[in-house]
Amino acid sequence: MTDALPALPTPAQLGAERDPSKRLLALVEPATNMLVRATALDEVNEVRAQAAAIERYARSIRLSTEAVGAAQTIARRAEMRMGELAGPRRRRGSGPRRGPVYQDGLSAHDRAELRTLAENQPTVEEVLGDLAPRGKASRGAVLRAVKSEQMHDDNRRRRQIFERSAPVRLVKLRGQLRQTVAELRRTHDLGLAFDAAEVVRDVKDLCRELEELLG
């Protein structure tokens, strides 16, 4: 990108507007389009810093939560773009867990969070749609929501894997039960002593648990 990104209005310029909230809400779409075209990480970071300053100003003069959320939306989208421009994640074991601060002022921790946002953009946009109108779309809140959704997806995948393997597991269980009965029969035929009543109680208990599990 050859030309510098146009700056967002300063808090003072925003305060001079007749309707600062309306002006702030109108900034979201052009700022988003501007970020999509951006190719320099430091310039996008400057947009993020400007949006953060606008958010603080909006809170200080008690603008609407929607206006605060508009500034947060610009900041979060800038952070997603920064995550894209920061490059791929470093593979496990390929470097120190906590690296130095880079020339652009971002720590390894910052870069990891920005990449998480960039890698989960559909989820981030969904979360912004929920939190931003309430002025609650901080980076931390969005990251927590993203991680919660990731855990939900992981649990759903595990359940799907378990459901696909359940028929095989049941066949294996039947085989194990038949094998157990056959071993008990051989024990009985050899005249070896065992507490049959206790075995029957254990089997009945297991059957009851199975019935409760399967409904």
128-140 pLDDT per residue, tens: 999 999 999 999 9
66, with CB counted inside 10 A (0-12, 13-18, 19+), is middle
**Domain-embedded: residue 109:** yes
Distances (CA, A) of 17 to 7, 21, 53, 177: 16, 9, 16, 78
∠ Cα 175 177 181 (to 5°): 115
Range of the domain at 182: 153-214
Mean pLDDT of 132-150: 95
Same domain (yes/no): 15, 70: yes
**Domain-embedded: residue 195:** yes
**Domain-embedded: residue 60:** yes
| CB hemisphere CA count around 106 (13 angstroms) | 21
**53-90, pLDDT tens digit by residue?**
999 999 999 999 999 999 999 999 999 999 999 877 66
Query: How confident is the model at residue 194, as a pLDDT?
Result: 72
**Domain-embedded: residue 55:** yes
Q: Where are the alpha helices (DSSP H) in the chain?
A: 11-15, 20-37, 41-60, 65-85, 108-119, 121-131, 139-189, 196-214
**84-136, pLDDT tens digit by residue?**
998 776 655 545 444 444 555 678 899 999 999 999 999 999 999 999 999 99
pLDDT at residue 25 greater than cutoff 60? yes
pLDDT at residue 153 greater than cutoff 70? yes
This prediction has a pTM of 0.68
Query: How confident is the model at residue 79, as a pLDDT?
Result: 97
Give 189's pLDDT tier (boundaries 50, 70, 90): confident
Tally of domains in the chain: 2
Query: How confident is the model at residue 3, as a pLDDT?
Result: 55
Same domain (yes/no): 105, 177: no
Query: How confident is the model at residue 101, as a pLDDT?
Result: 44
Same domain (yes/no): 106, 163: no
**Domain-embedded: residue 25:** yes
**Domain-embedded: residue 4:** no
Distances (CA, A) of 47 to 9, 53, 189: 10, 10, 83
The structure tokens listed for 2 are 């050859």
Same domain (yes/no): 38, 77: yes
Same domain (yes/no): 167, 100: no
Same domain (yes/no): 46, 129: yes
**Domain-embedded: residue 15:** yes
pLDDT at residue 8 greater than cutoff 60? yes
Cβ(40)–Cβ(2) under 8 Å? no
Give 157's pLDDT tier (boundaries 50, 70, 90): confident
The structure tokens listed for 161 are 């894997």
Same domain (yes/no): 49, 121: yes
Across the chain, what does the average pLDDT equal?
Answer: 84
Same domain (yes/no): 30, 106: yes
**Domain-embedded: residue 176:** yes
Same domain (yes/no): 157, 88: no
Residues with Cβ within 8 Å of residue 66, at least 6 apart in sequence: 21, 25, 132, 133, 135
Same domain (yes/no): 165, 112: no
> In which residue are the tokens 């400007």 written?
50
Residue after which a domain boundary falls, among 137, 165, 180: 137
Tally of CB atoms within 10 A around 7: 11
Query: How confident is the model at residue 93, as a pLDDT?
Result: 52
Same domain (yes/no): 108, 177: no
Cβ(23)–Cβ(9) under 8 Å? yes
Same domain (yes/no): 19, 95: yes
